[in-house]
Amino acid sequence: MNARNFLYIRPYNPAVAKRIADDKLATKKILLENNLPTPQLLAAFETRDDIRNFDWASLPESGFAIKPARGYGGLGILVMKRWEKTTGRTINDEVKEKKSLESYILDIQEGAYSLQFLPDAAFIEERIIRHSFFKKLAAIGIPDIRVIVFNRIPVMAMMRLPTAESHGKANIHQGAIAFGIDMRSGVTTSAIHKNKTITRIPGTKIKISGIKIPEWENILLLATKAQSVSGLGYAGIDIVLDENKGPLILEINARPGLAIQKANRASLRTRLERVENMDLPTPERGVEVSKSLFAESFSEKVTAKTNIITVIQPITIRFKGGTKDVLAKIDTGAYRTSIDNVLAQELSLIPNDEKVYVKSASGNGSRDTVDFSYILAGKKITTIASLANRSHMRYRVIIGRLDLKGFLITPELHPTQN
């Protein structure tokens, strides 16, 4: 622990960056400024007046989470699974009224859960919907992925699986399970529970090793981008998988613990020393280096999944108000994905300042663009799409070849079109 502080935290993590990382509200601001996905902020409470003036009826019926800005170890987090104007239920099925939540937030402001018990701020953010992948792992609560990133290179990762013993929290010290993860493939290799090595998830026949984490490439890239914008040279990035939104950055830690070594049965310091003098230009390059340097011996046998798609393919568009399913046409003759401008307006997709030059059968010219996020054959894709008038066309979205890396395309029509 002392070596970690002396060799990595002190020299690579400036005081200003550590203060921001210790404050979840400040961290969220940095992430949003850099267009990195994080759970939506619904309200912030810095003073007592903020509590008195808050409209509790404005909160979503689907629930929310109340958190201290400077909390640690998962303490002070209260998750409501349902809410009806002034009353609701927690994930533990306790009934909570508006007054009890106001008292709870006041406790947070008075420092009940903060570092050194100093005065704090509270905030409310959207409730994360657990990814369906975790249901088969008998997860209780929301699992998360911690990635240690050093100088834009992910060096080690673990998944923390909440249990009944940990009361649904991804806290290893309270009884959550920590899984080591192969950096190349995203497949689990080993695990610890209450400081002991285990081979199966307690109470089940599910093996610890061989579990492939969804969206692994996106998780590594997102963690690396978060470290890059945080101002920290050495950081632990906590990421959750939301059923509708995919990977979201939950926290940035300036002093990540060392339990990750036990979960992976590997020396963190050895990995850090291998990359300490590397200076990589982009997060994307950092992920490539990580997958090359820190692959387990078995991972060469793990083949990347190739998705086979058809000419007409259903996609799920993700936008601020939710999701929308549409049929899209796969067009390798088009370089960039294109969306009908009326559909973009319906989804409240705001045009970017920059335009792109497009060559098409209908003519060449510049077009407006929008940030466009969608799921194609189970893969989340975030791209910049051009806007076009497709009102006279059968399909309102065209998927261009820029977004088709990793897919094989069959000339058959989608079954719904036969």
Residue 418's pLDDT is: 39
For residues 270 and 293, the answer to whether their CB atoms sit within 8 Å is: no
Local confidence band at 141 (pLDDT 50, 70, 90 cut-offs): confident
For the chain, list the domains and their CATH numbers: 1-18+128-304 (3.30.470.20), 40-127 (no CATH), 307-417 (2.40.70.10)
Q: What percent of the chain stands above pLDDT 90?
A: 70
Would you list the DSSP string of 375-417? EETTEEEEEEEEEE--TTSS-SEEE-GGG-TTEEE-SSPPGGG
For 361-400, the pLDDT digits (tens) are 666 778 999 999 999 988 889 999 999 998 888 899 999 9
Pairing type for strands 338-340 and 407-409 reads unpaired
- Beta strands (DSSP E) in 341-378 are 355-358, 365-376
Q: What is the mean pLDDT of residues 18-24?
A: 95
CA–CA separation, 130 vs 144, rounded Å?
10
Report CA-CA distances (Å) from 322 to 35, 107, 137, 319.
Answer: 18, 33, 26, 5
Record the tokens describing residue 338, joined without a space: 């294109």
For residues 347 and 316, the answer to whether their CB atoms sit within 8 Å is: no
At residue 270, φ and ψ (nearest 5 deg) are -60, -40
Residue 43's pLDDT is: 97
CA–CA separation, 200 vs 387, rounded Å?
50
Location of structure tokens 């407006």: 368
CA–CA separation, 190 vs 201, rounded Å?
11
For 159-206, the pLDDT digits (tens) are 999 998 888 888 898 899 999 999 999 999 999 999 999 999 998 899
Q: Which amino acid is at 41?
A: L
- Beta strands (DSSP E) in 204-306 are 234-242, 246-253
Q: What is the mean pLDDT of residues 117-139?
A: 90
CB-CB neighbours of 345 under 10 Å: 13
For residues 355 and 366, the answer to whether their CB atoms sit within 8 Å is: yes
Nearest to 372 by CA among 342, 352, 394, 392: 352
> How far apart are the two ends of the chain, measured CA to CA in Å?
62
CA–CA separation, 273 vs 250, rounded Å?
27
Q: What is the mean pLDDT of residues 138-161?
A: 93
For 224-264, the pLDDT digits (tens) are 999 999 999 999 999 999 999 999 999 999 999 889 999 99
For 83-124, the pLDDT digits (tens) are 999 999 998 889 999 999 999 999 999 999 987 789 999 999
Q: Is the pLDDT of residue 415 over 50?
A: no
Q: Is the pLDDT of residue 299 over 80?
A: no
pTM greater than 0.85 (yes/no) = no
Q: Is the pLDDT of residue 17 over 60?
A: yes
Local confidence band at 403 (pLDDT 50, 70, 90 cut-offs): very high
Nearest to 389 by CA among 336, 335, 340, 337: 340
